[in-house]
């Protein structure tokens, strides 16, 4: 009998995984919580590793046509003095691809164009799942509120067994043999099987916006680091500019939620004029706000017939611009393992083994980079700036090489 695969979540991980699986002869159903798949989000940078993964799927051309390649990354102080500049293109081209930026809405649209809409169900927010426990088949495990053996930190103590029964918030149900959880950092699937694994707030909160016309350095990502916080500027095709602003704040602070661009202008007063100009140009435009968090690195991604991918498995802070890139790598590697292994559970296990070390490394480094970028103590800021200025560019290049050299076979 044909094995049934289901993906929960129609974000970058879920959609790319569905494309990759289809190419390997598996046609999963996707269940997405949002009532419709409409264009959302701000900009998103994709490293050369992600572009290479998309090229392996043969879908990079349409995506590339909607975004633009980037040549470099610079860090500056709030007084506009250069801390360091990385010629990212030089490294990425050695891997056959460049770094790239695109509006998220365009990326989603492109991914969707490679999928059969009749396989995607919107308005389907997963509520709970029930699955047999192979060590105690007569007692199925249900979420929320897992009963029986309480899993230890980051580990499920159950030997899960197909089929999996899914219940959605609208009351509808679905049964599947294999479940790919691509439902983001607050994954309902992960909460069900690994209730102890909780997102960790990074200590800073972030606003993002795309202005239709703004000033940015051509083909460069720019990050301005100051005591008040960090301001990033990234050019999109045409005259559009994507910016983000991060400041230190308590978690889920109600004042942050209602922050306006005028208030951000006050916070970033004294930053270069182009920061103020972008904030002014953003008045009346939608601001996307969210606290920055990641996941601990102690848990497995494979649990019997369930596998976690993307942010559901290994959400990272965005400081290295690698969260979505890792989700795209996941999709390609998962599909490769599914075609290599006849038993999907062996494929999930192999996927887990291949993805642990790399995603842990990115989570750790990205958190450290964020901590450095968000410093407020003037002495520590001075030290950081000195380190940035003194670090040879060869060190940045080495870091980038590690990032871009990934085995996607
Ligand atoms: C400020 C910021 C900037 C970033 N910049 C970059 C960048 O430049 N480059 C980069 O590579 N990454 C970046 N990232 C990270 C990137 O956004 C994520 O890693 C990426 O979106 C993860 O994709 P995903 O599909 O795993 O999860 P998500 O994008 O979170 O998608 C999950 C999907 O699942 C759905 N869902 C959730 N719960 C349920 C449920 N119960 N039932 C059904 N569906 C559900 C959601 O509606 C959503 O569609 C950034 C993140 C932030 C916060």
What one-character-per-residue DSSP string does 187-246 give?
Answer: -HHHHHH-TT---EEEEEEEEEEEESS----TTEEEEEE-SS-EEEEEE-STT-EEEEEE
Grade residue 37 by pLDDT with cuts at 50, 70 and 90. confident
Is the shortest distance between the CB of 308 and ligand 1 below 6 Å? Answer: no
Residue nearest atom 3 in ligand 1 by C-alpha distance: 318
pLDDT, residue 153, reads 45
Dump pLDDT digits (tens) for 261-287. 999 999 999 999 999 999 999 999 999
CA–CA separation, 64 and 57 (whole Å) = 13
For residue 10, being part of any structural domain is answered with yes
For the chain, percent of residues with pLDDT exceeding 70: 93
Please identify, by atom number, the ligand 1 atom nearest to the C-alpha of residue 316: 19
The candidate with the shortest Cα–Cα distance to 261, out of 249, 275, 272, is: 275
How remote is the CA of residue 82 from the centroid of ligand 1, in Å?
A: 32
pLDDT of residue 149: 39
Task: Kindly state the average pLDDT of the residues 128-153.
Answer: 58
Assign 137 a pLDDT band (cuts: 50, 70, 90): low
CA–centroid distance, residue 7 to ligand 1 (Å): 14
Q: Is the pLDDT of residue 222 over 90?
A: yes
Residues whose CB falls within 8 Å of the CB of residue 238, separated by 6 or more in sequence, listed in order: none
Task: Say what the pLDDT of residue 132 is.
Answer: 74
Provide the phi-psi class of 93: left if phi over 0, else alpha when psi is between -120 and 50, else beta: alpha
| 407 located within any domain | no
Residue of minimum CA distance from atom 38 in ligand 1: 183
38 vs 356, higher pLDDT: 356
CB of 31 within 6 A of ligand 1: the answer is yes
Q: Which atom of ligand 1 is nearest to the CA of 9?
A: 34
CA 65/CA 229 separation, integer angstroms:
33
- Binned at pLDDT 50, 70 and 90, residue 210 comes out as very high
Between CA 229 and CA 233, with CA 231 as vertex, the angle to 5 degrees is 170
Instruction: Calculate the average pLDDT of the chain.
Output: 92
Going by C-alpha positions, the residue among 168, 124, 127 that lies closest to residue 32 is 124
Contacts of residue 242, Cβ cutoff 8 Å, sequence gap at least 6: 42, 43, 101, 103, 208, 209, 210, 233, 234, 235, 236
Whole-number pLDDT of residue 146: 37
Query: Which residues lie closer than 8 Å to 332 by C-beta, 6 or more apart?
Result: 16, 20, 53, 56, 57, 408
Tell whether ligand 1 has an atom less than 6 A from the beta carbon of residue 184.
yes
**Domain annotation covers residue 129:** yes
Evaluate if residue 147 carries a pLDDT over 70.
no
Ligand 1 pocket test: which of 311, 314, 317, 322 has the largest number of ligand atoms within 8 Å of its C-beta?
Answer: 311
Element (H, E) at 365: helix 344-373
The pLDDT, as a whole number, for residue 97 is: 81
Q: What is the pLDDT of residue 89?
A: 85
User: Looking at residues 104-116, what average pLDDT do you find?
Assistant: 96
pLDDT at 329 over 80: yes
Query: How many Å separate Cα 305 from the centre of its chain?
Result: 23
Q: Is residue 402 part of a domain?
A: no
Domain that holds residue 139: 5-37+117-199+296-372
Strands 99-103, 68-70: pairing kind: antiparallel
**73 found inside a domain:** no
**Residue positions counted in the chain:** 409
Higher pLDDT, 396 or 289: 289
Q: Name the one residue in this structure whose structure tokens are 């999996």.
A: 164
Tokens of 315: 């959400």
What distances in angstroms separate CA 53 from CA 33, 152, 327, 361, 379, one per listed residue? 26, 35, 10, 19, 42
pLDDT (0 to 100) of residue 96? 79
In a domain, 57, yes or no: no
**C-beta of 203 in contact with ligand 1 (< 6 A):** no
d(CA 241, CA 210): 6
Pairing of strands 306-308, 178-181: parallel
Task: Output 286 or 161, whichever has higher pLDDT.
Answer: 286
Query: Given a cut of 60, is residue 225 above it in pLDDT?
Result: yes
Give 3-state DSSP helix, strand, coil % of the chain, rounded to 5.
35, 25, 40
| Whether residue 14 has its Cβ less than 6 Å from ligand 1 | yes
Distance from C-alpha of 119 to C-alpha of 28, rounded to nearest angstrom: 7
Q: H or E segment at 82?
A: strand 82-86
Q: Is any atom of ligand 1 closer than 6 Å to the C-beta of 199? A: no
- Tally of domains within the chain: 1
Distance 184 CA to ligand 1 centre (A): 5
Q: What is the CATH number of the domain that holds 336?
A: 3.50.50.60
Which residue, judged by its Cα, is nearest atom 7 of ligand 1? 321
Which pLDDT does position 400 carry in this prediction? 87
Q: Is the CB of 214 under 6 A from ligand 1?
A: no
* Residue 29 structure tokens: 């159903």
**DSSP class of residue 286?**
P
* pLDDT at residue 319 in the model: 97
**Residue 80: strand, helix, or coil:** coil
DSSP per residue, 243-262: EEEEEE--TT-HHHHT--HH
Residue 183, domain member (yes or no): yes
pTM of the shown model:
0.94
Residue 367 lies in a domain: yes
Give the number of the atom of ligand 1 that is nearest the alpha carbon of residue 34: 47
Cβ of residue 125 lying under 6 Å from some atom of ligand 1: yes
Mutate to test the pocket of ligand 1, among 6, 8, 10, 11 (most ligand atoms within 8 A of CB): 11
Task: Provide the 3-class DSSP secondary structure of residue 332.
Answer: helix
* pLDDT for position 94: 82
CB-ligand 1 contact for 20 (6 Å cutoff): no
Under the banding of pLDDT at 50, 70 and 90, the label for residue 213 is very high
């Amino acid at each position: 009998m044909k094995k049934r695969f289901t993906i929960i979540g129609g974000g970058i991980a879920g959609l790319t995984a569905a494309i990759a699986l289809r190419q390997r002869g598996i046609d999963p159903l996707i269940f997405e919580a949002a009532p419709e798949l409409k264009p959302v989000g701000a900009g998103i940078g994709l490293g050369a590793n992600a572009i290479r993964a998309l090229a392996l799927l043969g879908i990079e051309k349409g995506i590339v046509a909607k975004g633009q390649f980037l040549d470099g990354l610079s860090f500056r102080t709030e007084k506009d003095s250069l801390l360091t500049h990385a010629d990212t293109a030089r490294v990425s081209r050695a891997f056959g691809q460049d770094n790239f930026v695109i509006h998220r809405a365009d990326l989603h649209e492109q991914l969707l164009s490679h999928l059969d809409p009749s396989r995607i169900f919107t308005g389907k927010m997963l509520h709970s799942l029930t699955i047999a426990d192979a060590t105690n088949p007569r007692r199925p495990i249900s979420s929320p509120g897992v009963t029986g053996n309480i899993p230890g930190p980051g580990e499920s103590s159950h030997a899960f067994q197909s089929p999996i029964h899914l219940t959605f918030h609208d009351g509808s149900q679905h049964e599947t043999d294999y479940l790919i959880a691509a439902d983001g950092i607050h994954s309902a699937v992960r909460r069900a099987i690994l209730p102890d694994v909780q997102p960790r707030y990074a200590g800073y909160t972030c606003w993002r916006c795309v202005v239709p016309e703004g000033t940015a350095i051509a083909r460069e990502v720019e990050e301005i680091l100051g005591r008040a916080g960090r301001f990033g500027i990234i050019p999109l095709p045409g005259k559009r500019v994507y910016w983000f602003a991060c400041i230190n704040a308590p978690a889920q602070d109600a004042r942050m939620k209602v922050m306006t661009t005028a208030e951000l202008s006050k916070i970033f007063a004294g930053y270069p004029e182009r920061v103020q100009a972008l904030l002014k140009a953003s008045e009346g435009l939608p601001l996307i706000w969210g606290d920055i968090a990641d996941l601990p690195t102690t848990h497995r991604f494979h649990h019997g017939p369930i596998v976690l991918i993307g942010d559901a498995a290994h959400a990272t802070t965005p400081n290295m611009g690698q969260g979505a890139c890792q989700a795209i790598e996941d999709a390609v590697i998962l599909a490769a393992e599914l075609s290599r292994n006849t038993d999907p559970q062996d494929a999930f296990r192999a996927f887990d083994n291949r993805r642990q070390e790399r995603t842990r490394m990115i989570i750790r480094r990205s958190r450290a980079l964020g901590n450095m970028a968000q410093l407020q103590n003037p002495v520590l800021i001075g030290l950081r700036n000195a380190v940035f200025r003194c670090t040879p560019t060869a060190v940045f290049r080495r870091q980038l090489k590690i990032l871009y050299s990934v085995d996607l076979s």
